Structure 1
């Protein structure tokens, strides 16, 4: 289980998640690396609740709120939404769910996201699933999935991949230094990828580190 530690912030600024004692696995990978598909299998086999940071942001965007308009503009530009906004959406989703095991898909997107999440919640992930896939393969998948998302066009895809490479790799390196990263070759067929994923959830040597 992810370790909950005391935060240096005042009590009023602490997340209520500290009392829920949740287990969190971050799921990272470039756009089109297959994170969502694999999360579906993990939910079925291991009982986690899947929270997609991107889906939560898109739901907020559709709500017509002021924050929703900000999110819409940033997503169109392939930019990263402010940490505070995303963390609050994730916190609300976890507090409203009765489960205590969560896959957080597509977050943290950068080091600032990571630091802000850990500072606010006092929680560090049990481990990080990192789906490795070439830009060419991810681009082919995104253009062929035909889900009607307005960010599935060649120009925005290239922007998203560039942002991912520049911003997310430092997060991977941070957790890799702590022995928390489980790298997955995501270019393989779906079921082969899941066999590798299953091994990550059944390993007996996973260590839980305090912040």
Structure 2
């Protein structure tokens, strides 16, 4: 049975870096970033990539059908039985679609949803300081933050009710965060 861990957090929370380091240190864990998967599709120059770009460039959420298709393909093709996906879900619609999929797949268990919590000021400082592209402009950051925060209470409530939500303080050093997250994941697999 495959074990799935989702990592959520504000833009700039460090969720992708944390998950990458954990996967690099543990050959039995595969990491996928929804953002990286979607950006790779954009970079491929495909028609799907152009459609994805039209959403990402405005700081909007990519439609559910595209996101779920990308995630399900990644899970099915993962080379390990433990998978970390960061940046998902970002809406109740995405959460519901994934929850429906999980109910139908008896070979996949959602072990935990890990929130990497940082303040909005920390998130803004980190994102605007990294200059990765169009999504790092103030207006786009503000929109991404708004899109992230609006459904957050409902997402956290849903996973809390299922006893799946685990929050980690993302204001510490990368080493401290990664160690805590890695130990937590290992305790569940």
- Counterpart of 1:186 (choices 170, 173, 176) is 170
1:23 maps to which residue? 3
RMSD between aligned residues: 1.8
Cα displacement (A) at 1:53? 0.6
User: More helix by proportion, 1 or 2?
Assistant: 2
2:61 maps to which residue? 80
Structure 2 counterpart SS, 1:136: helix
Structure 2 counterpart SS, 1:32: coil
Change (3 A) 1:179 1:121: closer
Please give the residue correspondences for 1:1-211 in structure 2 after superposition, counting only pairs within 5 Å. 21-46=1-26, 47-122=28-103, 123=108, 125-147=110-132, 149-203=133-187
List gaps (5 residues or longer) in structure 2.
none
List gaps (5 residues or longer) in structure 1.
1-20
Larger radius of gyration: 1
Change (3 A) 1:121 1:182: closer
The answer to whether the 8 Å contact 1:108/1:168 transfers is: no
**TM-score where L is the length of structure 2:** 0.89
Q: Deviations over 1:110-165 (max 9, x none)?
A: 11101111213435510011011011111111122233x22111110111011000
Measure the CA separation in 2 of the matches of 1:135 and 1:97.
33
**Structure 1 residue ranges (4+ consecutive) displaced by more than 6 angstroms after TM superposition:** none
Change (3 A) 1:70 1:169: farther
Measure the CA separation in 2 of the matches of 1:98 and 1:59.
19
Q: Deviations over 1:74-126 (max 9, x none)?
A: 11221111111111111222222321211011011111101111213435510
Measure the CA separation in 2 of the matches of 1:198 and 1:64.
35
**TM-score where L is the length of structure 1:** 0.80
Measure the CA separation in 1 of the matches of 2:46 and 2:21.
33
